[in-house]
C-alpha cells in the first residue's frame, strides 16, 4: 500500500477514538458533592436537556525540530587544537669579508725596463721624504705643462747611500718624450733584471724596519744584492696620507 494513504487513514481515526474515550470517562465519574455553604445545583428536568460535553479536538503533534547538538567539550583524550608557530624569517648570514692575502716578502721577479722622465737629486736622511716629494712635484709640473700623462707608478732609485744621506733618481714612466727639460731631468730607462720584491705599508719614516727585515732575509738566504734599491709607489705619494702609503721595494740581485 502506498505510504501516503496509510498516513491519511491513521489521522482520520484519531478523532473518533478520542471521542469514545472521553464519553466513557464522563459516564463513570461520580457526581460531585457540593459543600455546605454552596447552593445545590438545579437538577435537570425533562424540559431542560442535559448539556453534552464539548467534543475534544485532537491535537496532531507537529514534527519535532531536531535539537542542535551542543559543541563537544574536549576531553583529556581529545588532542587540543595546535596553533601553528609563528615563523620569523632570519636574514641570511652575511659572509665575512675575504681575508687579505699576505703581502709578498722576498718574491723573485724580473723587472722590465720602462721609459721614464727622471730627476737626478741628492738628499740627507733628516729631510728625505720632503726632498723626494719635491722631486715628484717638479716632474709632474713638467708633464702637466706639456700635456703628458704618466703611464705607470712613480719610482725612486737609490744610486748611492752613506751615513749623511743618499743620491737618487725620481722617475715617472711616460709614453712620450718630454721636450725642453731642465738640467736636473732626463729621459731614460728604469732598472731591469732579476730582483726580489718586498712590500711596505705605512709612513716613509718606518721604512727602516722594512729595510732591516730585507737585510735579514738576504743574510738568511745568503743572497748578494747590488748597491741599488728601487721603491715603486703603488699609491700616489702626492695625494695619499703618509701613513697610508703602499710601496713595493725591489732589490736587484747580482
- Provide DSSP, 142-171: HHHHTT--BSS--EEEEEEE-SSEEEEEEE
- Please indicate whether residue 210 or residue 32 has the higher confidence score (pLDDT): 210
72 in any annotated domain: no
246 in Cβ contact with 189 (< 8 Å): no
154 in any annotated domain: yes
Reply yes or no on whether the pLDDT at 63 is more than 90: no
Closest CA to 111 of 229, 232, 188, 194: 194
Sign of the Cα pseudo-torsion (240, 242, 243, 246, in order): positive
Q: Which residues contact 119 (CB under 8 A, 6 or more apart)?
A: 135, 138, 139, 169, 170, 171, 184, 185
pTM of the model: 0.61
Burial of 95 (0-12, 13-18, 19+ CB in 10 A): exposed
Report the CATH number at residue 164: 3.20.80.10
H-helix or E-strand spanning residue 192: none
85 in any annotated domain: no
What does the buried/exposed string (b/e) look like for 43-54 if buried means 16 or more CB atoms within 10 Å of the residue's CB?
Answer: eeeeeeeeeeee
Return the pLDDT at 101: 64
Grid cell, residue 29, equals: 465519574
Q: Which residues contact 34 (CB under 8 A, 6 or more apart)?
A: 40, 41
**Mean pLDDT score, 30-34:** 45
Give the confidence band of 82 by pLDDT, cuts at 50, 70, 90: low
- Compute the mean pLDDT over every residue in the chain, rounded to the nearest whole number: 76
Rounded Cα distance, 132 and 122, in Å: 9
Reply yes or no on whether the pLDDT at 26 is more than 70: no
99 in any annotated domain: no
pLDDT tens digits, 147-187: 999 999 999 999 999 999 999 999 999 999 999 999 999 99
Return the pLDDT at 88: 58
**Mean pLDDT score, 231-247:** 95
Please give the residue range of the domain that contains residue 246.
105-252
118 in Cβ contact with 185 (< 8 Å): yes
226 in any annotated domain: yes
Domain count for the chain, please give it. 1
2 in any annotated domain: no
60 in any annotated domain: no
Return the pLDDT at 15: 43
Terminal alpha carbon distance of the chain: 131
29 in any annotated domain: no
Helices (H) and strands (E) in the chain, counts: 3, 8
**Mean pLDDT score, 34-54:** 46
- Please indicate whether residue 172 or residue 18 has the higher confidence score (pLDDT): 172
Closest CA to 173 of 192, 189, 191: 189
Helix (H, G, I), strand (E, B) or coil at 88: coil
Reply yes or no on whether the pLDDT at 23 is more than 90: no
Amino acid at each position: 500500500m502506498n505510504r501516503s494513504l496509510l498516513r491519511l487513514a491513521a489521522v482520520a481515526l484519531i478523532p473518533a477514538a478520542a471521542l469514545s474515550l472521553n464519553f466513557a470517562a464522563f459516564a463513570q465519574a461520580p457526581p460531585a458533592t457540593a459543600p455546605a455553604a454552596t447552593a445545590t445545583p438545579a437538577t435537570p428536568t425533562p424540559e431542560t436537556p442535559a448539556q453534552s460535553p464539548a467534543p475534544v479536538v485532537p491535537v496532531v503533534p507537529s514534527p519535532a525540530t531536531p535539537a542542535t547538538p551542543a559543541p563537544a567539550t574536549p576531553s583529556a583524550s581529545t588532542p587540543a587544537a595546535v596553533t601553528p608557530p609563528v615563523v620569523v624569517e632570519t636574514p641570511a648570514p652575511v659572509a665575512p669579508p675575504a681575508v687579505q692575502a699576505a703581502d709578498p716578502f722576498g718574491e723573485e721577479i724580473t723587472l722590465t725596463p720602462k721609459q721614464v722622465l727622471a730627476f737626478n737629486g741628492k738628499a740627507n736622511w733628516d729631510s728625505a721624504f720632503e726632498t723626494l716629494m719635491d722631486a715628484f712635484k717638479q716632474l709632474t709640473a713638467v708633464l702637466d705643462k706639456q700635456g703628458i700623462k704618466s703611464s705607470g707608478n712613480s719610482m725612486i732609485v737609490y744610486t748611492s747611500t752613506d751615513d749623511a744621506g743618499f743620491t737618487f733618481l725620481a722617475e715617472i714612466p711616460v709614453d712620450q718624450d718630454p721636450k725642453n727639460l731642465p738640467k736636473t731631468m732626463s729621459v731614460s730607462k728604469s732598472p731591469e733584471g732579476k730582483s726580489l720584491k718586498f712590500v711596505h705599508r705605512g709612513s716613509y719614516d718606518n721604512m727602516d724596519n722594512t729595510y732591516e727585515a730585507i737585510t735579514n732575509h738576504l743574510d738568511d738566504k745568503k743572497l748578494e744584492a747590488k748597491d741599488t734599491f728601487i721603491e715603486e709607489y703603488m699609491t700616489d705619494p702626492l695625494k695619499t696620507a703618509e701613513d697610508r702609503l703602499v710601496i713595493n721595494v725591489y732589490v736587484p740581485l747580482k
